[in-house]
Structure 1
Amino acid sequence: MIRYLPYLLLLGLLGCATTPPAAFYTLSPGLAAPGTVIPLTLGLTLSEFPEALDRPQLMLRSGENRLDIQELHRWAAPLEGQVRRVLRENLARLTQSPRVETHPWPTDFHPERQIRLAVSRFDGRHGATADLQARWSLHTADGTLILSRTATYSEPAGKSIETLVAAQNRLLERLAVEIGGSMRSEE
């Protein structure tokens, strides 16, 4: 029995060790001042989003072709849904549109302008930058293309996961400002 004592002590110590609790993060709308009123209803469709990023854990880019999973840093809700919600809220505030909905929109809603968005990158490097790459297009109610653009943004990410998420918020705000600005110039 005495010869097993070190193993029993080790098992006891391992039993006392605890894993730190997971931290949960959420994206939030930006604070940019509203622009000129755009009296059009807007429909937003997020047609593409990287599957590798739409998971509970945050993913950090550690190389051009490598993402590292952060087990103890998690999204409070699915990332794709958060991106869709924050863009809708940013666009509603920035354009002061009478109504902004995300696809699939309610049956009683027929947007006068449709925004179609394909996100190809929305991640970051710890202590470096948060990055967003997307293609978006603006269409009339009947689907006629008005314009199409590519957006590539980077924001300083700071040294913590919290500052990285804040940088991702700023990226979504910049994208909403670009989209809203294109609608003002279209009028």
Structure 2
Amino acid sequence: MIKKSLALLAMLLAGCASTPATHFYVLEAVSQPAVPTVKDMKKRLIGVGPITLPPLLDRKQIVTRTLMNGIDVAEFHQWAAPLKDNVLDVLTQNLTQLQPENFIRPYPWSAYGTVNYRVLVDITRFDTRPGIAVNFEATWAIMDESNHKIIDNGRSKISHALIDTSYPASVHALSQVLGQFCSELSVALQKL
């Protein structure tokens, strides 16, 4: 009986010792040149959010697409923070770099007072097919907070080839497509 217990304990310990380490990742803002601004323009307060993500992606594990409409949920490759919060932070940081003539604040911005405009983002696709492509799709709207009317809206679809199959390369590419999306938003904000 003691030998069986020791053998079972040894098997359990061996199983624990072979568990791979979990790797954590964050999206990062990409450095972009600011859009030229007009001097003596009154700074506006622009709120970013709320944003939405598909429930499939709003989890701690990184989700990638596979062939035949499958998905892979990476148990040992995870987001270091909630993905929705990380995406909102990156959008805010990127827009701050691109819109130096405005104050950009993430949702909820109640601590900063009211905002002049709100950028609403509904992300419908934000994933990778390692070694194939990174895909991003979203609808967005800019709302005038004084009258709650939509003054501009659009749909963005960004796809980039991805030859590297690693998770760090995928996360870097996802950061890049968020940067490109912010460039599109910045052009729309310049028209206000």
Q: TM-score range by the shorter chain?
A: 0.7 to 0.9
- Alignment match, 1:50: 54
- Alignment match, 1:172: 178
CA 1:109/1:97 → structure 2, altered by over 3 Å: closer, same or farther? farther
Corresponding letter in the other structure for 1:26: V
Gaps of 5+ in 2: none
- Alignment match, 2:21: 21
Shift of 1:144: 1.9
CA 1:167/1:12 → structure 2, altered by over 3 Å: closer, same or farther? same
- For residues 63-113 of structure 1, give each alpha carbon's deviation from its aligned partner in whole angstroms, at most 9, with x where no partner exists: 464221100101000001000000001001111144211222125422222
- Give yes or no for contact 1:156–1:167 (8 Å, CA) kept in 2: no
Correspondence for 1:144 among 136, 141, 149? 149
- Give yes or no for contact 1:42–1:97 (8 Å, CA) kept in 2: no
- For residues 127-185 of structure 1, give each alpha carbon's deviation from its aligned partner in whole angstroms, at most 9, with x where no partner exists: 1111111000112232222111000001233221100000000011011100001122x
Identity of aligned residues (%): 26
What is the aligned-residue RMSD (CA, Å)? 2.2
Distance 2:112 2:11 in 1: 62
Shift of 1:57: 0.7
Correspondence for 1:91 among 92, 95, 102? 95
Distance 2:27 2:161 in 1: 16
Count, aligned residues = 182
State the TM-score, normalizing by the size of structure 1.
0.87
Q: Secondary structure at the match of 1:29?
A: coil
Shift of 1:115: 0.7
Gaps of 5+ in 1: none
- Give yes or no for contact 2:45–2:117 (8 Å, CA) kept in 1: yes
- Alignment match, 1:154: 159
- Give yes or no for contact 2:143–2:150 (8 Å, CA) kept in 1: yes
- Does residue 118 of the first structure (1) align with residue 122 of the second (2)? yes
- Alignment match, 1:78: 82
State the TM-score, normalizing by the size of structure 2.
0.85
Distance 1:108 1:80 in 2: 21
Distance 2:145 2:132 in 1: 41
- Give yes or no for contact 2:52–2:84 (8 Å, CA) kept in 1: no
Corresponding letter in the other structure for 2:157: T
